[in-house]
A and B are shown apart, each in its own frame.
Chain A
Amino acid sequence: MRKFSWFNATSLTFGFAFLYLPMLILIIYSFNESRLVTVWAGFSTKWYGELFQNKAFLDAAKVTIKVAFWSSTLATILGTMAAYIMVRTGQFRGRGLFSGMIYAPLVMPEVITGLSLLLFFIAIGLDRGVITIVLAHTTFAMCYVSVVVTSRLVSFDQSLEEAALDLGCTPFDAFRSVTLPIIMPAVISGWLLAFTLSLDDLVIASFTSGPSSTTLPIKIFSAVRLGVTPEINALSTIMIGLVTIGVISASLVSRSMSIKAKADERRAEQD
C-alpha cells in the first residue's frame, strides 16, 4: 500500500486547479452577457449565436477540418509504413538518415519547419493554399504517428506474423490479415493525434497557407492578438468541449474494454 499524505493531496489539488481553472474561467465567461469580458453581466448564449453568424470563422473552420482530415490520413499511412520499416526491416542503406528524419521533426522548432517548407514551396513554384498546408502537416504529423505505431509494433509478438506465413500467407497478406488488425488501435490513436496536431497548429500553417486558405488557429491568433473577445471565448469553449467529450469517451471505452477482457480471462480459467 502506497502512503498518501496531506502533502500529496495538496500538490494534486493545486496542480489540477492550476491546469483546469484557466479553462474553466474561459468557459464560464463565454456565457457572459457583456461585451466587456471581465465584467459579469448575466448568463447568455448570444456569443455562440454570433459565432455561428460569423462567416469568416465558419469558412476557416471548414478549411481547418479539411486540412486536418487529409493530412492526418496521409500521415497515418506514411507513418505506419515508416514505423513498420523501423521495426521490421533489417539493415538497409540510409537507415541512419531515415531514423534521423523520422525523429527530427518531433523536436524541431515549428518556426524552422514552417520557414523551410515555405521557402521550399516557393522554390518549386507551388502556390500556397490548402494543398501546401496538407503537405506540411503530413510531414510533421507522420513522425508522431510513426512514434505511436512503433511503440505498439515493438511489443507485438513477432511469432504471430511468422504463424501467418507458416499457414500460407504471403508477407503482404500476413500484414493485412494479422498485423494491421492487431495494431489498429495504435493506428487509430495515431490518426487522432495527427488530426489534433493539425487542428491546433498555428505556426506551420501561418507559413504555408495562402490568402484563400486561412485556418482557424490563424484566425483566432489574429483576433486575440488585440485582446480577449467573447466570440473567441465561445469558440474556445466549443473546442474544449469537443476534445473533452472525445478524450473522456475514448478513455471510458478503453477502460470498459480492459475490464471486460479481465472478466473474460477470469471466466476462461474457471471453465
Chain B
Amino acid sequence: MNLRARLLIFVPYAWLLVFFLVPFGIVLKISLSDIALAIPPYVPTMKDGFWTMIRGLDLENYAFIGAGAVFASFTLLVLAIAMFQILYPRVRRALIPDARYGIFDSAAVALTALAVVVVNIAVLVAVLSFLFPVLSDFVDIPDFLYFAAYLSSLKIALISTLLTLLIGYPIAYGMARSAEHWRPTLLMLVILPFWTSFLIRVYAWMGILSTEGYLNQLLINIGVISDPLVILNTNIAVYIGIVYTYLPFMVLPIYASLDKMDDSLVEAAEDLGCTALSAFWLVTAPLSKPGVIAGCFLVFIPTLGEFVIPSLLGGSNTLMIGKVLWEEFFNNRDWPVASAVAVILLFILIVPIVAFQRNQEGGER
C-alpha cells in the first residue's frame, strides 16, 4: 500500500476515532465517576493523576439507575427469544407433519406458537424462582424511574413500530400496484416529508391535537363529541407523532421489496388456484418480508432513544429514556448518571442493531 492510499485512509479514520470513539470512551469513564460540585461536575478527573482517577471509578451510578435489573430482564428476553427459536420449529414439526402453509394451517401454527410461549414462560418462571434468592441484590432498584423509563421506551417503540407497519404497508402496496408513470411521483411524495424539518412535522401535530385544536373543533362542530378530547400530552399523541414522522422509513423499504417482485408470481399463484387474498398471503407477503423487517428496525431503533416527540407531544407521565437522559443532564446536571443511562441505552440497542445489519446482509445475498 503506497503513501497516498495510507493518507486517504488516515484522514476519515482519524476523524471518526477522535469524534466518535474517543467521546464514547469519555462517556463510559464519566458514567463510572461521581457527581460533584465542581467544574466539570464530576470526580475524579485526570487532574487527580491517572491512577487515582482509575481507582476512583465505580459502578455506583449503574446500581443507582437499576442497571442490574435492566441487565437481568434483557438477559431473560434474549434467553426467551433463543428458547423460542429452538423450541418453535421442533414443536411445529411434531404437531404439523405436513406443513403446507395453507390458510387453515395458520390457525394451527398460531396454536403451536401459543403452546410454545406457554412452555417457554413456565420454564423461565421455574428458572427465575430458583435463581431469585441469589440475584435479588443484583436486581435491586434504588430509583425505579430509570427502569420504568427503559420499559416504557421499549413499550412505546414496539407499539408504534407495529402501528407504523399497519399504516405503512397498505401505502407501500398501493404504490407498488399503481401505474408505472405514477410511481416516481408517489415516491417523491413519500420522500418529501423526510426532507422537511422533523421538528416542524412534530410541531404541526401540536396545533391539531390540543384541547382547543383543529381536531377537537372539527369533532365538536360535526357533533361527534360535546367535550374536547384530551390527546395532546398523552401517550396517544406520542404514538401519533412517531407514526407520522417515521412513516417514510417504513414505506420506502417495503415499497422497494414489493416493487422488485415479479408480477407474474401472483398471476401464477392465481392460475394455480389461489384467491386474490390467499395469493397475497402465500406469495406477496412472504416476499416482502425483508422490506417489512428492515422497515420495522428503521422505526424501532431510533424510536427507542427518541427525545423530541415525547417532550413536545407527550405529557409529564410519558416516560422515555431519551427524555430522561436529557433532563438528567440539562435540568439535574447529573453528568455521571446521564452517562450511565446512555451506556445502558446503547447496550439495549446492540441486539436490534446487530439483527438489522444481519437482515440487510441477508437481503443483499
- Direct chain A–B contact by Cβ atoms under 8 Å: yes
**Is A19 part of the binding interface, using a Cβ–Cβ cutoff of 8 Å?**
yes
Task: Decide: A246 near B174, CB < 8 A? Known: A101-B16, A101-B21, A142-B12.
Answer: no
Contact: A23 with B204, CB < 8 Å?
A: yes
Q: Are B9 and A89 in contact (CB under 8 A)?
A: yes
Write out, one digit per residue, whether chain B residues 203-216 have a CB within 8 A of any chain A CB (1) or not (0).
Answer: 11111101011100
**A51 interfacial by beta-carbon distance below 8 Å:** no
Find the B residue at minimum CB distance from A255.
B184
Kindly specify which of B54-62, B129-137, B185-193 makes contact with the partner chain: B185-193
Residues of A109-164 contacting chain B, CB below 8 A: 109-112, 115-117, 119-120, 122-123, 135-136, 138-139, 142
Q: A109-B322, A117-B19, A228-B210 are in contact. Are A12 and B174 (CB under 8 A)?
A: yes
Q: Are A19 and B210 in contact (CB under 8 A)?
A: no
> Measured between C-beta atoms, what is the minimum distance from A121 to chain B in Å?
8
List chain A residues, Cβ under 8 A from B15. 78, 138-139, 142
A98 within 8 A of B: yes
Main secondary structure of the interface of B (DSSP, over half): helix
B143 in contact (CB, < 8 A): no
The answer to the question of B85 belonging to the interface, with a C-beta cut-off of 8 Å to chain A, is no
Inter-chain CA distance A183–B163, complex, in Å, is 38
CB-nearest residue of chain B to A171 = B4
State whether A110 and B178 are in contact (beta carbons under 8 Å apart), knowing that A105-B20, A119-B339 are contacts in the complex: no
B349 proximal to A (CB < 8 A): yes
Bound: A57/B128 CA distance, A: 57
Binds A, one of B97-105, B117-125, B288-296, B305-313: B305-313
Q: How far is the CA of A37 from the CA of B204 in the complex (A)?
A: 12
**Using Cβ atoms and an 8 Å threshold, which residues of chain A touch B301?**
107
Contacts of A7 in B (CB 8 A): 170, 174
B281 at the interface (CB under 8 A from A): no
Contact indicator B177/A8 (Cβ below 8 Å): yes
The answer to whether A25 touches B342 (Cβ under 8 A) is no
| CB atoms of A29 and B199 under 8 A apart | no
A11 in contact with B174 (CB, 8 Å)? yes
Q: Which of A18, A101, A116, A239 contacts B26 (CB 8 A)?
A: A116
CB distance from B12 to the nearest CB of A (A): 4
Within 8 A of A (CB), among B43-74: none
From known contacts A25-B204, A119-B335, A136-B19, infer whether A12 and B171 are also in contact, taking CB-CB under 8 Å: yes
Does A251 count as interface, using CB distance less than 8 angstroms? yes
B39: nearest residue on chain A (CB-CB)?
A122
- In the assembled complex, the CB of B267 is this many whole angstroms from the nearest CB of chain A, namely 10
- Residues from 1 to 38 in A contacting B, C-beta threshold 8 Å: 2-5, 7-9, 11-12, 15-16, 18-20, 22-23, 25-26, 29, 37-38
Q: In the assembled complex, how far is the CB of residue A139 from the closest CB belonging to chain B, in whole angstroms?
A: 4
Complex Cα gap A102–B201 (Å):
28
The contact size tier of chain B is 35 or more
Assess the B357–A103 pair: CB atoms within 8 A. Answer: yes
Q: Assuming A115-B339, A116-B27, A120-B23, is B12 touching A240 (CB within 8 A)?
A: no
Q: Is B38 an interface residue (CB 8 A)?
A: no
Which of B247, B305, B353, B356 gathers most chain A CB within 10 Å? B305
Please pick, from A19, A79, A98, the residue contacting B13 in the complex, using a CB distance under 8 A.
A98
* Contact present for B11 and A81 (CB under 8 Å): yes
Residue contact A251 to B188, C-beta cutoff 8 Å: yes
B127 within 8 A of A: no
Is the CB–CB distance between A200 and B199 below 8 Å?
A: yes
- Please judge, given known A-B contacts A8-B174, A38-B217, A112-B27, whether A19 and B203 are in contact too, CB under 8 Å: no
Give every chain B residue within 8 A of A5 (Cβ-Cβ). Answer: 177
B200 at interface by CB-CB < 8 Å: yes
Query: Would you call B40 an interface residue if the criterion is a C-beta within 8 Å of the partner chain's C-beta atoms?
Result: yes
Q: Tell me, rounded to whole Å, the shortest Cβ–Cβ distance linking A20 to chain B.
A: 8
How far is B213's CA from A37's CA once the two chains are assembled, in angstroms? 9
> Contact: B204 with A22, CB < 8 Å?
yes
Q: Which chain B residues lie closer than 8 Å to A9 at the CB level?
A: 174
- The smallest beta-carbon distance between B166 and chain A, in angstroms, is 11
Residue A179 CB within 8 A of the other chain: no
Check A109/B305 contact, CB under 8 A, given A98-B16, A101-B17. Answer: yes
Q: How far is the CA of A92 from the CA of B8 in the complex (A)?
A: 12
The complex places the Cα of A178 from the Cα of B180 at a distance, in Å, of 34
Interface residue? B138 (CB, 8 A): no
| Partner of B307 from A78, A108, A110 at Cβ < 8 Å | A110
17 A-B pairs with CB atoms under 8 Å apart are: A4-B177, A7-B174, A8-B174, A12-B175, A18-B244, A19-B189, A23-B201, A38-B207, A107-B302, A108-B349, A109-B304, A109-B322, A112-B342, A116-B23, A116-B26, A243-B196, A248-B188
Q: In the complex, given contacts A104-B20, A139-B20, A200-B197, what are 19 additional A-B residue pairs having Cβ atoms less than 8 angstroms apart? A: A9-B174, A11-B171, A11-B173, A12-B174, A15-B167, A23-B200, A37-B207, A111-B345, A119-B339, A120-B19, A123-B40, A142-B12, A142-B15, A202-B308, A206-B330, A221-B199, A236-B197, A247-B188, A251-B188
| Residues on A facing B (Cβ under 8 Å) | 2-5, 7-9, 11-12, 15-16, 18-20, 22-23, 25-26, 29, 37-38, 78-79, 81-82, 84-85, 89, 92, 94, 98, 101-105, 107-112, 115-117, 119-120, 122-123, 135-136, 138-139, 142, 171-172, 196, 199-200, 202-203, 206-207, 217, 220-221, 224-225, 227-228, 232-233, 236, 239-240, 243-244, 246-248, 251, 255
Closest 6 CB pairs of A and B: A109-B305, A11-B170, A120-B23, A15-B171, A116-B23, A8-B174
